[in-house]
Chain A
Amino acid sequence: ETGVTQTPRHLVMGMTNKKSLKCEQHLGHNAMYWYKQSAKKPLELMFVYNFKEQTENNSVPSRFSPECPNSSHLFLHLHTLQPEDSALYLCASSLRTSETYEQYFGPGTRLTVT
């Protein structure tokens, strides 16, 4: 395994529900990322955290709310989602956010919004 774990692996939620995705890395990295992978579309970078501080928010709707309490944990809080938000949500980490560092991905959470 890559050293990045995500829970849950699968999630089905209604549009009025509130849920959270969790990511944990055991690699001693300082940067963590959330990506969205929709069917037959390229991965989209959503958020970037470096040393617990958010450094990138790629115009993500406010119904997605990230939280990074420390360098090892990253959450994605979800509320009032839409069916088009159904996708595979991937977490990744790297030593730093510099473009020279390799990213390690978790297995993802398959989210279905009904």
Chain B
Amino acid sequence: KNQVEQSPQSLIILEGKNCTLQCNYTVSPFSNLRWYKQDTGRGPVSLTIMTFSENTKSNGRYTATLDADTKQSSLHITASQLSDSASYICVVIPVTATGGFKTIFGAGTRLFVKA
């Protein structure tokens, strides 16, 4: 079982509507949690980075929230546009005992925005 689970796997919404993507994680302790957008055939692009002590972070129409008690994060997209069609990936960066760098990726939510 992956330590970072995302839901739903895929989502279809109409242009102009809002949507919320979920990320549940079991990684502990962790340094920060990130959301990325990945267009088809492209590399991921960072949307938000939140440290374990932050509750919310916005980037334009994207707002990420973090609840460290329930180990849940969400990404809310407001007034969706056709260009929002992409995969959205939740990533948790754990604190490692050895000081090494690790990343734990979720499988992503595939969002389709239709006109």
Interface residues of A (CB under 8 A from B): 2, 4, 31, 40-45, 48, 55-56, 90, 92, 97-100, 102-108, 110
Count class of interface residues, chain B? 20 to 34
Query: Is B19's CB within 8 Å of the partner chain A?
Result: no
* Chain B nearest CB, measured from A105 CB (Å): 3
Query: Is B60's CB within 8 Å of the partner chain A?
Result: no
Complex CA–CA separation, A110 to B93 (angstroms): 26
Complex CA–CA separation, A104 to B46 (angstroms): 8
Complex CA–CA separation, A31 to B103 (angstroms): 14
Known: A42-B105, A45-B102, A99-B95. A107 touches B46 (CB 8 A): no
Beta-carbon contact of B43 and A92 below 8 Å: yes
B residues near A92, Cβ cutoff 8 Å: 43
Beta-carbon contact of A40 and B42 below 8 Å: no
Number of A-B residue pairs having CB atoms within 8 Å of each other in the complex:
56
Beta-carbon contact of B32 and A100 below 8 Å: yes
Q: Top 3 closest A-B pairs, CB basis?
A: A105-B43, A42-B105, A99-B31
Complex CA–CA separation, A102 to B41 (angstroms): 21
Beta-carbon contact of A107 and B95 below 8 Å: no
Q: Quick one: closest B residue to A31, CB to CB?
A: B101
Beta-carbon contact of B45 and A42 below 8 Å: no
Beta-carbon contact of A41 and B101 below 8 Å: no
Complex CA–CA separation, A85 to B49 (angstroms): 31
A residues near B105, Cβ cutoff 8 Å: 42-44
> When the two chains form the complex, which single residue of B44, B51, B101 contacts A97, counting CB atoms closer than 8 Å?
B101
A residues near B4, Cβ cutoff 8 Å: 42
Beta-carbon contact of B101 and A48 below 8 Å: yes
Beta-carbon contact of B42 and A42 below 8 Å: no
Known: A105-B44, A106-B43, A107-B41. A55 touches B31 (CB 8 A): no
